[in-house]
Amino acid sequence: MCQDGTGDLAPLRVAAMGRCHDHLNPSCILAALWKLSSRPRVVLMGSPSIREGDLWDAEMPQGSRCLLSARLFPVLHAHEALGLEDVLWLLAPVAGKRLARWRAAWRMSWQELLPCLDKAAELGARQALFFLQGQHKVRRVLLERQDSSLLPLARSAVHEGYHEALLGTLDEVASTAGDAGIAARALACIAEVLGCMARGEGGLRSGPAANREWASAFERLESGDIASGVWELAAERQKWMSRPALLVRAARHYEGAEQILVRHAVMSSCQFVTVGQAELPPLGHWVQVVCPARLDLSGGWSDTPPITYEHGGAVVDVAVLVDGCWPISARVRRISEPELRLVSLGGTLQSEVVAELVCRELEHLQDYCQPHAPGALLKAAFICSQIVQFPSQKPLQVQLMENFRGGFEVHTWSKLPHGSGLGTSSILAGAVMASLYRAAGKAASTESLIHAVLHLEQRLTTGGGWQDQVGGLVPGIKIGRSKAQLPLRVEVEEIQVPNGFTQTLNDHLLLVYTGKTRLARNLLQDVVRNWYARLPSAVQNVDALVRNAEECAQALRQGNLPLIGKCLDCYWQQKKCMAPGCEPLAVGRMMDALRPYVYGQCLAGAGGGGFLYVLTRAPRQKEVLHQILAKTEGLGNFSIHSIKVDTSGFSVKVVGCDTEDCAWPREHMAV
pLDDT at 521 over 80: no
Task: Report DSSP state, residue 606.
Answer: T
Do the beta carbons of residue 516 and residue 261 sit within 8 Å? no
pLDDT at 18 over 80: no
Last residue of a domain, which of 269, 287, 308? 269
Distances (CA, A) of 346 to 157, 330, 332, 371, 377: 55, 12, 16, 19, 17
Q: Is residue 126 part of a domain?
A: no
Do the beta carbons of residue 328 and residue 292 sit within 8 Å? yes
CATH code for the domain in which residue 330 is found: 3.30.230.120
In tens, the pLDDT along 236-249 reads 999 999 999 999 99
pLDDT at 666 over 80: no
Long-range contacts of 112-117 (CB under 8 A, 24+ apart): 112/71, 113/73, 114/26, 114/27, 117/26
Answer yes or no: do 370 and 435 share one domain.
yes
Q: Which of 272-286, 337-351, 371-385, 513-527 has the lowest mean pLDDT?
A: 513-527
Answer yes or no: do 288 and 257 share one domain.
no
Domain that includes residue 513, residue range:
276-656
Q: According to the model, what pLDDT value does residue 635 have?
A: 86
3-state secondary structure string across 272-288 = HCCEEECCCCCCCCEEE
Count: domains in the chain: 3
Answer yes or no: do 283 and 159 share one domain.
no
Q: According to the model, what pLDDT value does residue 4 have?
A: 39
Q: Is residue 135 part of a domain?
A: no
Answer yes or no: do 208 and 71 share one domain.
no
Q: Is residue 129 part of a domain?
A: no
Answer yes or no: do 351 and 395 share one domain.
yes
Q: According to the model, what pLDDT value does residue 350 have?
A: 67
Q: Is residue 149 part of a domain?
A: yes
Answer yes or no: do 574 and 451 share one domain.
yes
Last residue of a domain, which of 251, 269, 287? 269
Answer yes or no: do 66 and 176 share one domain.
no
For residue 522, name the pLDDT band (cuts at 50, 70, 90).
Answer: low
Q: Is residue 542 part of a domain?
A: yes
Do the beta carbons of residue 563 and residue 599 sit within 8 Å? no
Mean pLDDT of the 320-346 span: 95
Answer yes or no: do 111 and 165 share one domain.
no
Q: Is residue 664 part of a domain?
A: no
Answer yes or no: do 145 and 70 share one domain.
no
Q: According to the model, what pLDDT value does residue 658 have?
A: 57
How far is residue 18's CA from residue 28's CA, in Å, rounded to a whole number? 6
Torsion of CA 241, 242, 244, 245, to 10 degrees: -90
Q: Is residue 133 part of a domain?
A: no
3-class DSSP state of 302: coil
Last residue of a domain, which of 240, 269, 298? 269
pLDDT at 646 over 60: yes
Answer yes or no: do 105 and 155 share one domain.
no
Answer yes or no: do 261 and 311 share one domain.
no
State the average pLDDT for the chain: 87
Q: Is residue 154 part of a domain?
A: yes
Q: Report the chain's C-alpha Rg in angstroms.
A: 34
For residue 518, name the pLDDT band (cuts at 50, 70, 90).
Answer: low
Q: Which of 9-18, 264-273, 294-303 has the lowest mean pLDDT?
A: 9-18
Answer yes or no: do 445 and 571 share one domain.
yes
